[in-house]
């Protein structure tokens, strides 16, 4: 995705926020117009609204863009089935608005108002679309636990999850500047397992409400809060892992200052190339960590060897060839990114078997290691023309020269499909306009030949 000019960024964020708020208000007015006042918020739904407000005051922050989520999903599903679409919008939207205004008091009120209204609006839209889906599929269902009702509830849950994930992902992408596909995958991978586990809780909640009214709802409050605590601990665990990774990345940058920009660019490039090659989503998420830490093992190598201007002797080469395994050994102890250790260990292997440390050939090397190898080589060839990133042992190449080197090494030094995917991403402008023009020309020449 090409970078949004700064002058347009704030306008897009504000325009998106206001559009979501207007859409939510429009849905609310339409429902108020068509639903009789006694059905707007039954007293049972009002009691649930109070409980939902309490749980909304205990949000779980995600790792992208400061976004926060709560576990109100089973409550919303139960209210949709028992009391209708409008009460569900109130139960999801009003607590979100109140929490946004009262929490995070370090921020100015104007800032809190803007984000609180957006979060409340997107929550109401998600609940509203889920309610419309449920009552469209089960318009006259008298038994809330019949097959038709359960099917309708499942469809409503998918609708809620999809709408909520999409609206939050767009906001996160606009806020952080990351690719929408990356943010979307992250949000879905994080919340889908939890929401799938919470769907049976929705059915239990509906049953208890059906049998015991509000008193039945109180019976499920304790396990509900326990589920929220599990979700919070999972987020905190991932945050701790990523702080560890960030610290290791800073260690590499301090040891070798010329790698600071290189490691950041390698992380971004790795995800784009992996997505084009159809790498599994879980591995795409881990590739930025692998790209940022692939040279971690160089921290233990003498700086005089790494910056040597004269030809390296055999002892020097042995020290350099040891860095993939040293880096992998450090990473192997971090559970969250354990698969990354193998990619780091093998990122200097080659399809022709002339790489190191094991001399593996095509078919024996993970595709993720091939991706890191291509990205590492290309950026190292061209990054020396950037201020502060000059490598003392190598003169920089121009972009066309670096592209030619990749094409020349495809099939021997580099995986040919990875080279092609990388050049396609380069030509699409995902890594800058200067690179895009040269990559497009190189691909055109290759196609003509």
Among candidates 127, 190, 185, which has minimal Cα distance to 160?
A: 127
Q: If you average pLDDT over residues 29-52, what whole number do you get?
A: 82
pLDDT band per the 50, 70, 90 thresholds, residue 29: very high
Tens of pLDDT, residues 211-267: 777 676 666 666 666 766 676 677 677 777 767 776 776 666 666 555 555 566 777
Q: How far apart are CA 332 and CA 324, in angstroms?
A: 12
Tens of pLDDT, residues 270-304: 888 888 888 887 788 788 888 878 878 877 777 77
- Whole-angstrom CA distances from 132 to 89, 160, 161, 335, 412 are 11, 10, 14, 42, 57
Structural domains present in the chain: 6-219 (1.10.1760), 242-448 (1.10.3210.10)
Tell me the β-bridge partners of 361: 352
- Whole-angstrom CA distances from 133 to 35, 136, 137, 371 are 16, 5, 6, 42
Q: If you average pLDDT over residues 380-396, what whole number do you get?
A: 58
Query: In percent, how much of the chain has pLDDT > 90?
Result: 16
CA angle 349/351/352 to nearest 5° reads 100
pLDDT band per the 50, 70, 90 thresholds, residue 24: very high
Q: How far apart are CA 69 and CA 91, in angstroms?
A: 15
Tens of pLDDT, residues 158-217: 898 888 888 888 887 777 666 677 677 766 766 676 667 667 767 777 777 777 776 766
Q: How far apart are CA 16 and CA 166, in angstroms?
A: 13
User: Across the chain, what does the average pLDDT equal?
Assistant: 77
Detail the DSSP E strand segments found in 141-252.
none
Q: What is the helix, strand, coil percentage profile of the chain, to 5?
A: 75, 0, 25
With a cut of 80, say whether residue 104 has pLDDT above it: no
């Amino acid at each position: 995705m090409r970078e949004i000019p700064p002058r347009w960024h704030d306008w897009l964020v504000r325009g998106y926020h206001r559009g979501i708020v207007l859409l939510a208000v429009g849905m609310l007015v339409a429902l108020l117009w068509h639903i009789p006042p006694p059905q707007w918020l039954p007293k049972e739904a009002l009691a649930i609204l109070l409980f939902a407000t309490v749980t909304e005051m205990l949000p779980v922050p995600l790792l992208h863009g400061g976004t926060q989520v709560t576990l109100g999903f089973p409550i919303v599903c139960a209210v949709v089935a028992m009391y209708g679409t409008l009460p569900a919008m109130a139960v999801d939207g009003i607590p979100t608005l109140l929490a946004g205004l009262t929490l995070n008091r370090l921020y100015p009120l104007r800032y809190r108002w803007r984000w609180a209204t957006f979060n409340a609006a997107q929550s109401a839209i998600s609940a509203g679309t889920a309610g419309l889906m449920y009552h469209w599929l089960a318009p006259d269902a008298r038994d809330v636990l019949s097959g038709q009702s359960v099917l309708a509830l499942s469809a409503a849950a998918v609708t809620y999850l999809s709408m909520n994930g999409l609206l939050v992902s767009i906001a996160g992408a606009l806020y952080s500047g990351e690719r929408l596909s990356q943010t979307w995958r992250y949000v879905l991978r994080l919340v889908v397992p939890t929401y799938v586990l919470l769907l049976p809780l929705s059915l239990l909640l509906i049953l208890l409400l059906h049998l015991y009214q509000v008193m039945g709802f109180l019976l499920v409050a304790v396990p509900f809060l326990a589920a929220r605590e599990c979700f919070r601990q999972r987020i905190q665990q991932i945050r701790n892992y990523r702080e560890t990774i960030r610290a290791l990345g800073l260690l590499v940058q301090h040891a070798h200052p010329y790698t600071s920009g290189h490691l950041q660019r390698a992380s971004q490039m790795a995800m784009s190339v992996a997505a084009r090659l159809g790498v599994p989503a879980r591995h795409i998420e881990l590739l930025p960590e692998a790209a940022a830490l692939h040279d971690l093992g160089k921290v233990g190598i003498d700086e005089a060897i790494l910056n040597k201007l004269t030809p390296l002797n055999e002892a020097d080469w042995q020290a350099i060839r040891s860095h993939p395994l040293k880096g992998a050994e450090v990473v192997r102890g971090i559970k969250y990114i354990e698969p990354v250790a193998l990619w780091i260990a093998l990122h200097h292997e080659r399809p022709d078997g002339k790489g190191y440390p094991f001399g593996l050939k095509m078919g024996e090397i993970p595709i993720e290691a091939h991706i890191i190898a291509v990205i590492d080589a290309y950026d190292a060839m061209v990054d020396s023309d950037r201020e502060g990133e000059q490598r003392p042992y190598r003169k920089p190449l121009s972009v066309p020269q670096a592209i030619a080197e990749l094409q020349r090494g495809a099939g021997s030094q580099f995986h040919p499909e990875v080279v092609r995917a990388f050049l396609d991403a380069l030509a699409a402008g995902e890594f800058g306009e200067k690179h895009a023009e040269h990559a497009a020309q190189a691909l055109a020449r290759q196609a003509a030949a």
